Amino acid sequence: MAAGLAAVTSLNGLAQQARPVARTAGSVPADQRVSTRWQPVRPAQAVRPVQATDSEDLPLPPAEAPRSSRSGASGADRRVPMTDRSADGYSVMQPRLIGPDEDFHDPLDGQIIYEGGGFEGFDEGYLSGSEYVTGPGCGCEGVSCDGGCDSFGGSCITGGCDPRGGTAWRPCLTLCLPEAGWVSFEYLGWWQSGMQLPQLATTGPASSPGSNTLFGGEEVLDDGFSGGRLQFGVWLDRCHTWSAAAEYFELSSRTAGFSARPGDHALLARPFLNASLNLMPDYQFVDRQDGTVRGSLDIRATSELVGGGFHFRRQTNSNTGCSHGLLCNRCGVFHSRTDGLFGYRYVQLDELVGINENLNSPSAMSISDEFRTSNQFNGFDMGINYRRWRGPWSVDLLAKLAIGNTRQRVDIAGSTQSTNGLQQGGILAQTSNIGSYSRDRFTIMPELGATLGYQWTPSLRLKLGYTMIFWSNVVRPGDQIDMIVNPQLFPTGNPGALPQRPQFDFRDSDYWVQGISFGGEFTW
């Protein structure tokens, strides 16, 4: 009888020592720091101690034992609920050991319950963009994560990052997103360098039809463009030191133009320099008030810019310290990180100048000139990004330089539709310069950017930024228009007349675009 009692007592002792650790799915042992952000939600219910029993020899404990009777175990052997120790606007959840004489409450939704002791507290910090911002020490005091701490889904533990996996990808059998990443969309309000145009339409008295310029002779398309920019990125490691990102932006096509109908002006003319008269100013009349010529004129200039690319980013430096704010002298904790990036960039600029003339008298005739340019850049992109944040506010500074090739292409077309049928050649586009021309040019494309961010929610950051892009060696349609014309080359004249003007020559210029952006960035 005594031996049996001793056996039961021994089994009860072993059961007290062998109580399993209650944990949620995907949690790590209690001696590791655990990020609660990615723990599944469990129904609110009490978690009762589990004892090893023998269904034949040992009785089960009472099912409704009062909680006060469960205080026999030491404090290090009790459940450890999570307590909210909020400070300075941050949501801080830390484990708390329950004393032997202290009661506990049922766990809340998503709450992690620990059995046993021997572990340190941790901070669940504030999310800023795609970074993890906590108190001093990046929220992982005494922990090294190769310069950074896991922001989403990983956990920093003593001596390094979560050893459960070397990457941040979630294995799955169906289509799924990476475990940690971000996506952002911004509205763009940008301005570009204007397109320089020669005089294309003039008016004035019959003795001086070019005294007043109606269109051309200045820059056009130098006002604002609307567009959008989409960015997507994923973290490649749990410490968030490596990432891969892609970007695409597009500015909507803008048009500047001129239109005149019969009778709108006392005189409507298209100017050029006569090559057969020692470059004397000359005019092709479109509409005159005396009725000798009646016609209409439509001129349009369009521009469209798109770009994109992808890059890899590597954290090179991080820092945490104390600084004074701009609007107050109170010292606060700031965090910063510097990343180097390299990748590929693509940008394309498509522009057009089209002139359409319709004559009603003395005979019906339609004349068309068109100058179209395309610049396509492909190159290697490299740069540096610096981010500094304090509380919910953050500032990003970006400097990039792309080096590569610009494929320039110029298409010139002209035609005249008359009673003689469709003939090649207009006014400024003749058989002497009509055709398609292309070449390659070495190009540099620097980009500067600054973004102010505000962490509205733990997953959503609002952004207000500025961007400037410079592009060397581009061709624009206004520069490809040769105003020296030999009228004898007109379709109604002599196609073989000399000199052969207008002619085509590549003319380079520099291009820039800059402006503000506003949008949001969502992280998970």
| pLDDT for 135 | 35
Q: What residues are paired with 523 via a beta bridge?
A: 182
DSSP state of 158: T
Picking from 430, 431, 427, 434, the residue whose alpha carbon sits closest to that of residue 411 is 434
| Window from 61-65, 162-166, 274-278, 415-419 with minimum mean pLDDT | 162-166
218-243: pLDDT as tens digits: 999 998 999 999 999 999 988 889 99
| pLDDT for 56 | 45
Phi-psi group of 97: left, alpha or beta (phi > 0 → left; psi -120 to 50 → alpha; rest → beta): beta
> Is residue 265 predicted with pLDDT exceeding 90?
yes
Q: How many residues does the chain have?
A: 524
| pLDDT for 176 | 58
- Supply the DSSP string of 115-129, one letter for each residue: -S---------EEET
Picking from 521, 513, 519, 520, the residue whose alpha carbon sits closest to that of residue 251 is 513
76-95: pLDDT as tens digits: 444 444 444 444 444 444 44
Cβ burial of 340 (10 Å; 0-12, 13-18, 19+) is: middle
The predicted model gives 466-495 an average pLDDT of 93
Joined tokens for residue 311: 């890059």
Residue 515 · residue 224 · CB < 8 Å: yes
The predicted model gives 382-387 an average pLDDT of 96
> Is residue 492 predicted with pLDDT exceeding 80?
no
The 3-state DSSP class for residue 244 equals strand
| Window from 153-157, 413-417, 464-468 with minimum mean pLDDT | 153-157
| pLDDT for 118 | 36
> Is residue 143 predicted with pLDDT exceeding 90?
no
| Alpha carbon distances (Å) from 216 to 145, 298, 299, 456, 508 | 61, 13, 10, 48, 19
The 3-state DSSP class for residue 96 equals coil
Q: Which amino acid is present at 286?
A: V
